[in-house]
A and B are shown apart, each in its own frame.
Chain A
Amino acid sequence: MDYFSGILGRLIDELGRMPGIGPKAAQRLAFFLLRQDAAVVQQLANAMLEAKAKIRPCADCFFLAEGERCHICSDPRRDARLLCVVEDPKDVFSMERTREYRGLYHVLMGTLSPLDGIGPDDLKIAELLKRLQAGHVQEVIVATNQDVEGEATALYLNKLIKPLGIRVTRLASGLPAGGDLEYADDITISRALGGRRELE
């Protein structure tokens, strides 16, 4: 793979670090960029730098925000009595795509993952409990993945939240491929949301 060295080689290396981009795809992207006008490439570079500089985790829910709070937390039409807990900011997009959920979110920034050394203190769980103690939320919908780690996270959250007198529910099962929200289609997610059940 060292046909490309120097500046072009470096560009291909950088592009090749992105998820889903193998060496071949990285080369195609590099040649594509070289064929474009300088202005087009500048726009792309600016967009990347600006996103990196200005997008921060939302102060309330840890979803992506351009200011202090994300557009969902700042939207007065959202139902503040409902809180959907997800693993990853990507999962918020999956839920939003269905256009069915009108509540707020809380992104854990991961899932309990014992063999990676990720315990409760490494997730945004303390922040979640603090939000719940403010008292507006009546139902927490736990939408972590439906694998063993996601289920364990749901069980753990239930143990912590139940004593606060808040209903804790779980998306109905039936998501494909290890229950990863990212790969579920809108209809499946809507159905899982509609069929959510209360955790014991």
Chain B
Amino acid sequence: MPTLRTPALVLRAYDFSEADRVIVLFTQTLGKVKGVAKGVRRTASRLNGCLGWLSRAELQLAGRENQDLFRITQGQLLQSYPHLKENLPALGRAARMAELLFSLTHDHQPLPEIFELAETSLSLWDAGTDPNMVGTWFEWMFLDRMGYRPQVEVCQQCGNDTEHMSYHPETDGITCRACRPHGGIVLSAGTRKMLNKLIASHPTLLPSLRLGEDAQTQIQTLLDSIIRNHLGRPLKSDSFQRAVCDLK
């Protein structure tokens, strides 16, 4: 059986039988794939250490490229992000990331750029960067790279750029108050400036950016709305993230 090696992030794991686990991976070369890890539930298998949730490992997968379920035959842990896992607000944001990768990307859809975004986000969280800043950056960049990011520069009806604009999920765009006085998610000029800055900024600059409370709330509402539109439901990780977001 052919094998391939690829760096991979562990998105989630299921108990499969008494001894095996199925792991959903986000790989650098193949995008999202599933793999079975034989015997890891019963024995102190070396694979165990590589397959913890939100770990990054170099894995050997056996199976043809378009295989539904690979067999994970070998692995080497590259990074387990231990500080991230001790920081509940960061873990809440990372859980959202895992769910987005899990539920909005397709199996066998190579997305190397998004793999890099995810890897960078995990490292930033692990290094103690503001969890919300990193999470907001990841989600906005993710929507951009998936082709789901609405333009937030000018009114989609009249083309003007005014101080107060609102985003409307049903038209997936922003309008000014003259064109549509009511409804939608308010996005102030400052918030829209921040959204554009996020797209343009190199991740190394994220620790120096600050999200004001208003911008944070507006952007979060916007992200949740776009995600719900594409997913058809809110994120399941919401309840966990909300419970831990204020814990220090």
Q: Which of B11, B53, B243, B247 contacts A149 (CB 8 A)?
A: B53
Give the Cβ gap from B32 to chain A, nearest Cβ, in Å.
13
Residues 99-121 of B, flagged 1 when their CB comes within 8 A of A and 0 if not, give: 10010000000000000000000
Please report the C-alpha to C-alpha distance between residue A112 and residue B247 in the assembled complex, in whole angstroms: 15
Q: Which residues of A contact B92 (CB under 8 A)?
A: 114
A155–B243 touching, CB < 8 Å: no
B152 CB to nearest A CB, Å: 28
Question: Is the CB–CB distance between B85 and A152 below 8 Å?
Answer: yes
Interface window among A37-45, A46-54, A68-76, A118-126: A118-126
Interface residues of B in 79-97 (CB under 8 A from A): 85-86, 88, 91-92, 95-96
Inter-chain contact B242/A183, CB cutoff 8 Å? no
Q: Is residue B200 contacting chain A, with contact meaning CB distance below 8 A?
A: no
Number of interface residues of B (CB under 8 A): 34
B182 interface residue per 8 A CB criterion: no
Let me know if A151 and B237 touch, CB within 8 A: no
Given contacts A148-B54, A176-B43, A176-B44, contact A114 B240 (CB under 8 A): yes
| A187 on interface, CB distance cutoff 8 Å | no
> Contacts A20-B18, A148-B53 given: A114-B237 contact, CB under 8 Å?
yes
How many chain A residues touch B (Cβ–Cβ < 8 Å)? 26
CB distance from B25 to the nearest CB of A (A): 14
Q: Given the complex, which residues of A lie within 8 Å of B242, measured CB to CB?
A: 119
A2, CB-defined interface residue at 8 Å: no
Asked if residues B53 and A147 are in contact (CB atoms below 8 Å), the reply is yes
A159 touches B52 (CB 8 A): no
- Are B85 and A159 in touch, CB under 8 angstroms? no
Please indicate which of the listed interface residues A114, A122, A151, A155 has the most CB atoms of chain B within 10 Å of its own CB.
A114
B-side contacts of A9, CB under 8 Å: none
Question: Do A177 and B44 have beta carbons less than 8 Å apart?
Answer: yes
Chain A residues near B41 (CB, 8 Å)?
177-178, 180, 183
Is the CB–CB distance between A177 and B18 below 8 Å? no
A156 — which chain B residues lie within 8 A by C-beta? 88, 243-244, 247
Q: In the complex, how many angstroms separate the beta carbon of A168 from the nearest chain B beta carbon?
A: 14
Quick one: CB contact mask for A154-168 with B, threshold 8 Å, 1 for yes? 011001000000000
B11 to chain A, nearest CB (A): 8
Which B residues lie within 8 Å of A19 (CB)?
18
B86 contacts A119, C-beta separation under 8 Å:
no
Q: Write the chain A residue with the least CB distance to B12.
A: A115
Given A177-B43, A178-B40, A178-B48: A112 in contact with B240 (beta carbons within 8 A): yes
B239 within 8 A of A: yes
Which chain B residues numbered 25 to 48 have a C-beta less than 8 Å away from chain A? 40-45, 48
| Chain A interface, DSSP helix/strand/loop, else mixed | helix
A151 to B54 alpha-carbon distance, docked (Å) = 13
Q: Is B236's CB within 8 Å of the partner chain A?
A: yes
A55 to B232, CA, bound (A): 39
- State A114–B17 Cα separation when bound (angstroms): 22
B52 touches A147 (CB 8 A): yes
Kindly supply a per-residue 1/0 record for chain A positions 95-132, scoring 1 wherever the CB is within 8 Å of any chain B CB and 0 otherwise.
00000000000000000111111111110000000000
Interface check B136, CB cutoff 8 A: no
Question: Which A residues are in CB contact (< 8 Å) with B243?
Answer: 119-121, 156
Our pick among B43, B44, B241 for the contact of A114 (Cβ within 8 Å) is B241
- A144: shortest Cβ distance to chain B, in Å? 14
Separation in Å of the B23 CB from the closest CB of chain A?
11
A interface residues with partner B (beta carbon < 8 Å): 19-20, 112-122, 147-149, 151-152, 155-156, 159, 176-178, 180, 183
A selection of 29 A-B contacts at a CB cut-off of 8 Å is A19-B18, A20-B17, A114-B95, A114-B98, A114-B236, A114-B239, A114-B241, A115-B12, A115-B95, A115-B102, A116-B236, A117-B236, A117-B238, A119-B238, A119-B239, A119-B240, A120-B240, A120-B243, A147-B53, A148-B53, A148-B91, A151-B86, A156-B88, A159-B247, A176-B48, A177-B42, A178-B41, A178-B52, A183-B41
